[in-house]
Structure 1
Amino acid sequence: MLQIVELITKKQMLEQFHVIQQMYPDYTLQKYESLLDEMLPLQYKQVAVIEKDICIGLAGFWIATKLWSGKYLELDNVIVHSSHRSKGIGELIVKYLNQKAAENDCNVLVLDAYTSNYRAQKFFFNHGFVPQGFHFVKHLKK
């Protein structure tokens, strides 16, 4: 049986490092911890899908406000463990966060997807997301 759990503490998030490595294989635990130290004060949280006490899917999220959208919920790194893809785990995460956004009176759900990740793009199109603009990046450090 699948369980959806919100992770709100650094300890809970660090315990799921193996899932983060599915998307960021070069990350060390120390790098992940350092990033969490910067993100958690900004109300960053995660939602995890647990099966038999093992995290098989994970997404970060924030609720904030911007001029263009008003209040929004941003999905950050929707990750499903490679051995559990195409089994509805991502859909559970999106449905959960959609409900969370509605409960918090958000106007929109937003996310970034890499331009080369066609599988993710198709997934999000199929769940009602549409591209509205470009997310431009200018790298300052290499």
Structure 2
Amino acid sequence: MSFDFKIIEKENILNILPLVEKLNDFKISKEVLKERILEMTEQNYECAGVFFKGELVGICGLWYCTRHYSGKSTEVDHVFIEEKFRGQGIGKQFFKWIYNYLKTKGFEAIELNTYTTNYASHKFYYNEGFKILGYHFLKKL
């Protein structure tokens, strides 16, 4: 199978909504997700997509910043591949594309958070060379 990887244009960003909904463990309404995605495009955010025969089958949000400990950095977010395409090496290909894309933009590091119960992602990220630096905490205001 042949897959295409590219940045999703801002005007097409809501195409990611069905995939983001599948990640929605917090049961956030579709309308709120839509509002947040649109707001994200006004910040230091892009979304990369995996396409199969023109259909969006995977996504990875990219948040850009500079951090004192890692320099010019990208935090990947809401990484998702449709279930029927998993286990075929697409994630590895996708991340290779992401690494190359970020290098061309001058980024020095890539970071991420993953749910503690998402064991398959832990194995994937370990195999990609990621190291655990700490814990992610959240407090709703």
Structures share fold, TM-score greater than 0.5: yes
Work out the number of aligned pairs and report it. Answer: 139
**Conserved? CA contact 1:57–1:89, under 8 Å:** no
In the TM superposition, what is the alpha-carbon distance from 1:104 to its structure 2 partner?
A: 2.0
**Conserved? CA contact 2:13–2:38, under 8 Å:** no
RMSD: 1.6
Letter in 1 for 2:24: Y
Letter in 2 for 1:43: N
> Are 1:60 and 2:61 matched, yes or no?
yes
* Runs of 4+ with >4 A deviation: none
Partner of 2:38: 37
> Are 1:115 and 2:107 matched, yes or no?
no
Unaligned stretches of 5+ residues in structure 2:
none
Partner of 1:22: 22
Structure 2 CA distance for partners of 1:12 and 1:108, relative to 1, 3 Å: same
Q: Identity of paired residues, percent?
A: 26
Paired with 2:94 and 2:38, the residues of 1 have a C-alpha distance of 24
Q: TM-score, normalised by structure 2?
A: 0.89
The SS at the match of 2:56 is strand
**Conserved? CA contact 1:22–1:81, under 8 Å:** no
Unaligned stretches of 5+ residues in structure 1:
none
Q: How does 1:79-118 map to 2 (within 5 A)?
A: 79-118=80-119
Q: TM-score, normalised by structure 1?
A: 0.88
Structure 2 CA distance for partners of 1:137 and 1:28, relative to 1, 3 Å: closer
In the TM superposition, what is the alpha-carbon distance from 1:130 to its structure 2 partner?
A: 0.8
Letter in 2 for 1:122: K
Higher mean alpha-carbon deviation, 85-94 vs 45-54, is at 85-94
Structure 2 CA distance for partners of 1:139 and 1:66, relative to 1, 3 Å: same
Paired with 1:62 and 1:136, the residues of 2 have a C-alpha distance of 18
> Are 1:78 and 2:94 matched, yes or no?
no
- Deviations along 1:15-40, whole A, 9 cap, x unmatched? 23222222127344422221123211
**Conserved? CA contact 2:114–2:121, under 8 Å:** yes
